[in-house]
Structure 1
């Protein structure tokens, strides 16, 4: 088990001990040990091999044994038994925003609740608001969190869904009976979250394909096993559907099961206006071309017998209907059919992964990251980047070990020394993620911000402000001369927390007026600012930066999820800072001074 995973286990132990009401000193020993381990710059394997772990301040003898056991075996009996000793419902309650170990224990002790359903009932009865330390607002917040959890339970992050889908798609393509296979649905459209997985296969021998699909080791439940359609469910709750069609129908089925309902309606209407009916089964002359919606039964004969037109690819389908091929990620029913009919400047040139030269807004062990400057730079270079921006938290984010002015300047010196060492061809830009305080002022001195290459300003507190207050707060920060980028502008956490109230149109206009970049926070849990806002914002001149907000080396790869959002938003490369070379980025920063 690596260091980051061990930190997660220690932090989890601390929360579980809170649930059991253990001694606060014992709890702090685990949470403090996790923090020490997280910020330790030496290689953990070397420290253990040299017997130095016990000499590190904050790591007591009990922790030494547990850390070494986890590192060597990946398992810890103490942790397993501790987790098993707590009612699963109490652990599930920790998923509700605002409920930590102490509050869950208090709810359990005072009201006897051991499940989310019981907690909901207690809130609805007004029992929670009557408890000291909670109140009516807390009760309402818990109910909102429970409602959101239920609504989100049916959806999954795109990043997680892709991880499940890729081996399935590879396995389907390896089957000798499969002529062609693709993933469809919201996964193919690169939506932030995915309801279920859809796979479309072309084959004249569907039975062996179906048998393979339902027989995968990862399948927890087979919910349907038919001749041409099967459905399975995985342990995560994610469902996957497989449809097998003849090769002649593959392009139509793939198009139909990829597009949103609105996109498919627009495409059917376009086909009808040209005298054809379009469905998942095919394209054929229509007998009622002016009637709008048309129910189409699956064809049983050949294309020639039924009068259907032969189309071998989605591109041919679009061309037949007088359109340039619409990329899957744009098939959302938001005017793409009209744009791709007009062609020319109305068709966006979508960003490619290879155009991203580096990323900004990433964290190190100086705050709450798990990689040193050197480790983060090495990982960025391995991804083929030319540069990397590091922006640790500022001091107001005390829970993230945020940096005060002196520590910021010290890290700046370390980054400059790294660049001057010639250790790598990659250049590291020195930045900061500076908190926007509740009144819109910034968390660091102007002189500190001026010394850095750039600063990302973000809201991390007082999320309950009114829309007017939050909007004014963020705009005040944007108008500060030290602000280069605005970080995660709505504060949303996908499938967990809604955005705070803010007038983003006013924020976008202020950013353009002050030459401030708004980021796409590429963390798969955020993907903020939302793609639905980007097309119009980019047309108005807003600049973008794709920032993975990486807290460990593996997190840098999340920039790919940010590219998805840039593609869905149709942001041109010339308005994405990451597409500039190192000199171009340095020039942009210099011109902002």
Structure 2
């Protein structure tokens, strides 16, 4: 079992024990162990093999034994027992923002609530407001949260989908019967959130592959098991959630057609099939045929070529103009992760980050980046240890000293993630803002302002000459918090007018802005920058998710700010700083 999944199991156990009213210290031990696993300095399997895991602080003998059992067998009877004695609907309540184990325990004891349906009925009847520790506002927020969960359904975040599917894909690829295997569906198109997981493989005999697939330890339930397809449920990354995974087997000469079919959106597939028909051909998931014979295609490039189309990358297969562009040979060379030369909007332990300035710098260098922007929180965000003006000056000195040590080929830029206050003003005075190399302006409060007020607030901020780039433009948290009400087109217009960049926040929990608005912003002349919003060295790896958004927006390397060389980036930032003078 993968480390991330083991950590999730331990975290779930702590949560279930909290709901059951167990000793808080025991519950916390599970949560702490889960957090420890996520930050291990080396591979979990290797640490078990060499005995170093047993020496990690916070992992006692009991938890160590459970971790080893999960890692080696994929199962843990103690976890299965906890899940079995807990109503599944009860765990689903955790998907409601603001409801944690303690609140669930209270609601269960006071109102016998054990499902989302029970929760909605109690809230609509006004019963929750009367429970001690809740109140009318909490009740209203719960109803709003239920509606949001019902709207988003059983979808999961992209990085969670990858964590679930990658070990299964690797297992299938290693199977002696398998010739080729790939992930399909919306995950291959790098959609923001994922419904079902899809894996396609080719083999002379799919049956044995599917038999072994449904027997994998991570399979929670078999939904269907036939000669060419199997469907199962996998435990998700939230308590009470399961994700459907479909695995299909085809003959190898069918693989290219099936991969295309099961990757594209419904609209894309219809458009491609219509094109085939217009050329006297018939295209389905198994073949491309003419009046007298089939057209052999080894890979997807062959399929597109047979239809007189340039190859269309998976991210563009949404029927948003890709067919017409491919016909004219105008599919752009999409940006790659390797094109990035640096990034901004990263946090250190000066505010709410986990790593030191030097650790963040070394992490960026290890990824092949040439510069890194440190943008710790501003003073109003007390819960994130926002920097006072005095601490800002101290951090600048620390960055200067570190740059002397790092040498001329790598640079830390002095930045801030400065709060946009309710009236659109910024959290630091102008003389302090003028000393930063760049300023990321972000909203962190008053999310429920009316649309016109929120729009005016952000427009004022991006029009401030000290602001270099706008952070997480809509404030959304995917599958958790809806975006605030804002006229994003008006914000884009203001950003274009004032040469203010807008970031693609690459955190897989945000992916903000989306590809549609990125394309609109670029057409208006707004410069886009991919930022990870990293709070740790590992968080720098989230850049790949931001590049996925950029690719879905049809961006080339030239369409992003942080693909330029260090010297050019420094000159651009200096020029933008001089706007305020």
What secondary structure, in the 3-state scheme, does the structure 1 residue paired with 2:345 have?
coil
Counterpart of 1:218 in structure 2 is 218
Counterpart of 1:548 in structure 2 is 532
CA drift of 1:373 comes to 0.7
User: Following the alignment from structure 1 to structure 2, what is the Cα–Cα distance between the partners of residues 109 and 398?
Assistant: 35
CA drift of 1:467 comes to 1.0
Q: Which of the residues 349, 358, 362 maps onto 1:378?
A: 362
Residues 518 and 553 of structure 2 are in contact (CA less than 8 Å); yes or no, is this contact kept in structure 1?
A: yes
- Pairing 1:165–2:165 present: yes
The superposition leaves residues 425-482 of structure 1 with CA deviations (integer Å, 9 ceiling, x where unpaired) of 5311111111111111111111111111111111111111111111100000011111
- Which stretches in structure 1 are left out of the alignment for 5+ residues? 44-66, 287-305
Pairing of 1:209-358 with structure 2 (within 5 A): 209-236=209-236, 237-285=242-290, 307-344=293-330, 347-358=331-342
CA drift of 1:360 comes to 0.9
Counterpart of 1:480 in structure 2 is 464
User: Following the alignment from structure 2 to structure 1, what is the Cα–Cα distance between the partners of residues 546 and 148?
Assistant: 24
User: Following the alignment from structure 1 to structure 2, what is the Cα–Cα distance between the partners of residues 17 and 389?
Assistant: 40
Counterpart of 2:521 in structure 1 is 537
CA drift of 1:483 comes to 0.5
Distance 1:355 1:72, change over 3 A: farther
Residues 511 and 542 of structure 1 are in contact (CA less than 8 Å); yes or no, is this contact kept in structure 2?
A: yes
Moved more, 427-436 or 575-584: 575-584
- Pairing 1:468–2:452 present: yes
User: Following the alignment from structure 1 to structure 2, what is the Cα–Cα distance between the partners of residues 116 and 534?
Assistant: 36
Distance 1:173 1:477, change over 3 A: same
Counterpart of 1:51 in structure 2 is none
Distance 1:21 1:410, change over 3 A: farther
Counterpart of 2:544 in structure 1 is 560
User: Following the alignment from structure 1 to structure 2, what is the Cα–Cα distance between the partners of residues 95 and 458?
Assistant: 26
Counterpart of 1:155 in structure 2 is 155
Residues 19 and 102 of structure 1 are in contact (CA less than 8 Å); yes or no, is this contact kept in structure 2?
A: no
- Pairing 1:491–2:475 present: yes
TM-score by length of 1: 0.81
- Which stretches in structure 2 are left out of the alignment for 5+ residues? 42-55, 67-77, 237-241
Residues 490 and 529 of structure 1 are in contact (CA less than 8 Å); yes or no, is this contact kept in structure 2?
A: yes
Root mean square deviation, CA, Å: 3.6
Residues 433 and 455 of structure 1 are in contact (CA less than 8 Å); yes or no, is this contact kept in structure 2?
A: yes
Q: Which of the residues 398, 408, 416 maps onto 1:432?
A: 416
User: Following the alignment from structure 1 to structure 2, what is the Cα–Cα distance between the partners of residues 431 and 163?
Assistant: 32
CA drift of 1:15 comes to 13
CA drift of 1:348 comes to 2.2
The superposition leaves residues 146-196 of structure 1 with CA deviations (integer Å, 9 ceiling, x where unpaired) of 232244352111112112222222222222322222111111111111112
User: Following the alignment from structure 1 to structure 2, what is the Cα–Cα distance between the partners of residues 381 and 211?
Assistant: 45
CA drift of 1:134 comes to 5.7
